[in-house]
Structure 1
Amino acid sequence: MQVYYPKLIAPVRRVGRREFDLSRHIVVMGIVNRTPNSGLDPNRSMEADAAIKTAERALRDGAEWLDVGGRAFRSDQPPLSGAEEIDRVAPVIKGIREKSDAVISVDTHLPEVAEAAYKAGADVINDTNGLRAPGMASLIAETGMSVVITHSIGGPGEVVARPHYENVVSEVADFLRQRADTAVGCGIRPEKIFIDPGHDLNKTTEHSNTITRRLGEIAAMGYPVLVACSNKHFIRESLGVAPGSEALKAGTIAANTACVYQGARVVRVHDVAGNVAAMRAAESVLGLG
């Protein structure tokens, strides 16, 4: 597997209050969940103050981007209204914004939550539904926010039994290309777009490992690739360890490093300190810094 250096659309870009040269720098995004059921996250909390403290710790550890979530992707969860999701994420976003100029994204697929998050201080919509909700793309275009377009078959909360792909990499790339084209058609500027292949989202371990090995084929689209591998099932199954295992930290760093080797430029993580050190080392090895 040869290292892949993607030719990026707008490698130097302003995201919120920060500017990144993604041809030379790997951005570490810290995860801040205000959810009771995010099984991957040892730091999850339903207390707003605790979530803000998680964000502050992530910033001290070197995160430049924080991703705030109020809804798990998993299908085995009770219904959650947009109003309830807003109540979870908006106070946390507001609290972080009062303390930091770091990039803040909100992990949501609902336009009403996206709008409330923007008003609270968020800079980016991280949409695991791939902009399929009516009105989401136009809202992002109107506000001038950046967006992470993520691949999934069913979207958050939807049951997808036995996901099947003829060619997982080409099908994920085709989806992301089509959704990015739709975003641009709705007025979102190309330099505002990031893409995420959606490791483990309606995918088996084999699918996620294949995406990791061949991520360069997705990075070749030119939009900066964000990867969200942290603590996920494909790492646990590959290592043969239980959720919450200390080995997941090392496995996550290994997966993220492999993705960066294949062109990823943003990594979404729970263990910020370990991944910051790993990404700075990766930049040096790859000659980016």
Structure 2
Amino acid sequence: MPNSKSKPEYDPYDPQGLTQPDSAGFAHEMQVLRGRLQRWMRTRFKGGKKEDGDEEAAETPAEWGRLASRRQDESKPSFLDLPGELRNDIYYLIFNPHQFCYLAAYITGPRDIFRGLLQPSILRVSRQIRAESLSFLCSTKHFKAMNAPSASTFLRYIGPIGRANLTCISLVLSHKFRHTFTDDLPLWTSIIKFLSETTSLQIFHFDIDDYLHALVPGEDGEVADSVKWEIFTDLRKAVERIDGAKLTWKITLEGMLNNENYRMGMMTCKLQQVFGAENRRGGRVWRLNGSEIPRERN
């Protein structure tokens, strides 16, 4: 993201802290950008001759990835002829600078991706501009995928370029959307595979808002755990193999019946074993005996 823009940092563990769009500030940013574009165009059409007071922005590589290659036809100015810094500013304004979190929910195919998250028309101008703008989008926004099917589809259709530049993603397993079944091995295998390609990943946050403990009768009348915990172990290992990436988690389940406490105690214990108690970020916690630990108050 352009260094000239200052904004409050988005906290993936406290999404309620989002700022509201400032129409006056946005209009001012657009006016400043328009002036910079006009100065650059005047310089371009004068064959590089500048008037007094004109300043040509330095063409510096974007910090978030490699710039797309230029067109072979240099006789006419194009969007890719703009300085990299100026193109960054344009992407910054196109992808809603006041929206730090993008929600990926009910995504089942490419049509859902391109009509929603990847709707801006600049992504369809050319392959070069698409690669550059998608890199910018994935490196500057936090993405929240609601349940495993949406996460798999999202990671698949942002492609290798999107995955390579993705920096922050949350996977929410929520009963409000669709129950998540851990025995769907192809689904989870695809998520783990795609995560291994997110080489720029900084934060992977796991938000549990569902019963992961699907308890079934076992032998001799005992209760057996049917959750495929090895899937979550493999997911943790995939994130750990990415240099600089950190995995965090929390339980946010609300509206739970009192007679379900024993399940939550077992689930909390398992999650701490798999992801580490030190990586928990807020949320609800139960002891193994089913009693809930009171939340800390700031």
Is the pair's TM-score, using the shorter chain for normalization, greater than 0.5? no
TM-score bucket of the superposed structures, by smaller chain: 0.3 to 0.5
Higher relative contact order (CA 8 A, sep 6+): 1
TM-score (norm 2): 0.35
TM-score (norm 1): 0.36
Rg: which structure is higher? 2
